[in-house]
Amino acid sequence: MIKIRLKCFSQVKYALGKNEIIFELENGASTDDLEKIVRKKAEGKLNDVALSTALNKKYISKNTELEDGDEVAFIPPVQGG
């Protein structure tokens, strides 16, 4: 098992009700796997929200295998101005 720290912003924070969550995932789990878990945990509140992914404070555009201790953020676009 690996431990992953999820940092929550904007709609993700409001959908999950927390700033940060530690997930325990199977070895070999990826950012896409974590996104599916997060969306399920949000119980539909993120259905219409596109999420960009940052791994260890760096934007990534492709599904990436996670390692123990990684920090992930799913960043929604926001539009207020």
Partner 1 sequence: MIITPEKLKKWLDNDKNFTLLDTRPKNQIKQSPIKELKCIIRPPDSIDQIKGDKVLVCQFGIVTEGMILENDLQNSYSLLGGVQAWNEFIKDKNDLSRWSRQTILEEIGIDGQKKIMKARVAIVGMGGLGCSAATSLVAAGIGTLNIIDGDTVDLSNLHRQHLYQAGDIGKEKVSVAKRALENISSHTKINSFNNFLNQSNAKSCFENIDLIIDATDNIVSRQIIDKVSKDKNLPMIYGSLYKFEGQVGVFNTESKIGYAELFPNNISGGETCEEAGVIGMLPTIIGNMQAFEAIKLILNLEPNLIGKLLIYDSLHHTTEVIEL
Where do contacts with partner 1 occur on this chain (CB under 8 A)? 7, 9-11, 13-14, 19, 48-50, 52, 54, 57-59, 61, 73, 75-81
Q: Residue 7 in contact with residue 73, Cβ under 8 Å?
A: yes
CB of 80 to partner 1, least distance (A): 3
Q: How far is the CB of 6 from partner 1 (least distance, A)?
A: 12
Q: Where are the alpha helices (DSSP H) in 42-74?
A: none
User: Which three-class secondary structure state does DSSP give residue 11?
Assistant: helix
What is the closest distance, in whole angstroms, from the C-beta atom of residue 13 to partner 1 in the complex?
8
